[in-house]
Amino acid sequence: MRKPLLKLKQKFHFNREKLIYEPINYTFGYWFRQIGVYLLTGALVGGIFFLIYLYMVEPPGEKELRQEKKRILSQYDLLNYKVKQYEEVLFDLQQRDENLYRVVFQAEPIPFSVRKAGYNANRYDILTEMTNSQLVASTTRKVDEFARQLYIQSKSFDEIVVLANNKEQMLACIPAIQPIYNKDLKHMASGFGMRIDPVYRTPKFHAGMDFSAPIGTKIFATGNGTISFAGWKQGYGNTVVINHGFNYETLYGHMNSIGVYQGQKVKRGETIGMVGNTGKSVGPHLHYEVHFKGSPVNPQNYYFLDLSPAEYDKMLQMVANSAQVFD
């Protein structure tokens, strides 16, 4: 006779009424409940150990990944700090370029929109699908912006270098003396701005300065240049216009005689004609204008090679107090 594979130990309970021990016969429901309790307890204990493992024990490689991530973020912080430093340096270069270099050389300012070098944001959309997309996209965007702005700045400096190389020629060409001999400032008549017309007695804008002088007084070119006009001009009479380059022109009106011809090269201080009373004029004088980029500017700002600071201040007072206009 075969022995059973598993023999459960018989259990008894004490019957107080009969005062005897009686065997315990377990039902199926009892065993089902016992098994359920064991399974639930095991599941709870297993869950507790799993949570302990999950939060307290690092999986293989996770520590290395965390350290790598920390190194990447540290490197990004350093990169971002350097980008901010470069941004400050670039801003300083732009400010010097705009407010110093281009002013000294009288170059056109670079528009703000061009300096900022706008970009197409759509080209960064693909980066948002990558890991750490915001980090990658923002860094790439900054690098691209700097690349464009540095290119524009380098082109600006190329232009400044050309202007610097031409500075000596530029200084020789810019109007810088009075158009007649007037060291004692006795020939000042009328300045730049609103004046009363001597013929029509109405307010009008006077686009230059008048120098009263006897007919035949020598008129000088105030800077090196090329004669772009020599002849009769309505209202101005006998007139000479000199193109000095670098966006400058000067006009000499009401001349008695013209001593140059169109296309002729002239030097600063060279005689180009004589004072007269031609055109719309009420007395012998020279009407002198300075134009920059096609617009008249105040000639009193272009006598820096001819007058000392004290003489310049005296001239300003005389011009401000003078109401006499000859044309």
pLDDT tens digits in sequence order for the chain, 327 residues long: 555 544 556 777 677 777 777 777 777 777 778 788 888 888 888 888 777 777 776 666 677 777 777 777 777 777 777 777 777 777 777 776 776 566 556 667 777 666 665 555 565 565 555 556 566 667 777 777 777 777 777 777 777 777 666 777 888 898 988 999 887 777 776 777 767 666 666 667 778 888 888 999 999 999 999 999 999 999 899 999 999 998 999 999 999 999 999 999 999 999 999 999 998 888 898 999 999 989 999 888 888 787 777 777 777 777 665 555 666
Q: Are 232 and 293 found together in one domain?
A: yes
Q: Are 210 and 95 found together in one domain?
A: no
Q: Are 241 and 287 found together in one domain?
A: yes
Q: Are 92 and 45 found together in one domain?
A: no
Q: Are 110 and 230 found together in one domain?
A: no
Is 301 part of any domain?
A: yes
Beta strands (DSSP E) in the chain are: 12-15, 20-23, 188-190, 193-196, 203-206, 209-212, 218-220, 225-233, 237-245, 248-258, 265-266, 271-275, 285-292, 295-297
pLDDT at 105: 60
Is 63 part of any domain?
A: no
Do the Cβ atoms of 209 and 199 come closer than 8 Å? no
Is 308 part of any domain?
A: yes
pLDDT at 237: 92
Round to whole Å and give the CA distance between 206 and 280.
Answer: 13
Is 65 part of any domain?
A: no
Is 171 part of any domain?
A: no
Q: Are 229 and 128 found together in one domain?
A: no
Round to whole Å and give the CA distance between 142 and 160.
Answer: 27
Q: Are 89 and 128 found together in one domain?
A: yes
In the chain, the amino acid numbered 201 is R
Q: Are 92 and 154 found together in one domain?
A: yes
Q: Are 302 and 201 found together in one domain?
A: yes
Q: Are 202 and 147 found together in one domain?
A: no
Do the Cβ atoms of 326 and 283 come closer than 8 Å? yes
Is 220 part of any domain?
A: yes
Tokens describing residue 252 = 């000499």
Q: Which residue has the tokens 């980029």?
A: 293
pLDDT at 107: 67
Residue ranges making up the domain that contains 298: 188-321
Q: Are 86 and 28 found together in one domain?
A: no
Round to whole Å and give the CA distance between 97 and 104.
Answer: 10
Return the axis-axis angle of helices 62-96 and 133-165, rounded to nearest 10°: 30
Tokens describing residue 206 = 């006077």
Domain of 263, CATH number, reads 2.70.70.10
pLDDT at 291: 94
pLDDT at 66: 76
Last residue of a domain, one of 108, 130, 165: 165
pLDDT at 262: 95
Q: Are 203 and 274 found together in one domain?
A: yes
How many structural domains is the chain composed of?
3
Round to whole Å and give the CA distance between 67 and 4.
Answer: 60
CB count within 10 Å of CB 137 equals 17
| Residues contacting residue 239 through CB under 8 Å, at least 6 positions apart | 229, 230, 231, 232, 233, 251, 252, 253, 254, 255, 279
Mapped onto helix, strand or coil, the DSSP state of residue 31 is helix
Do the Cβ atoms of 112 and 103 come closer than 8 Å? no
Is 223 part of any domain?
A: yes
Is 174 part of any domain?
A: no
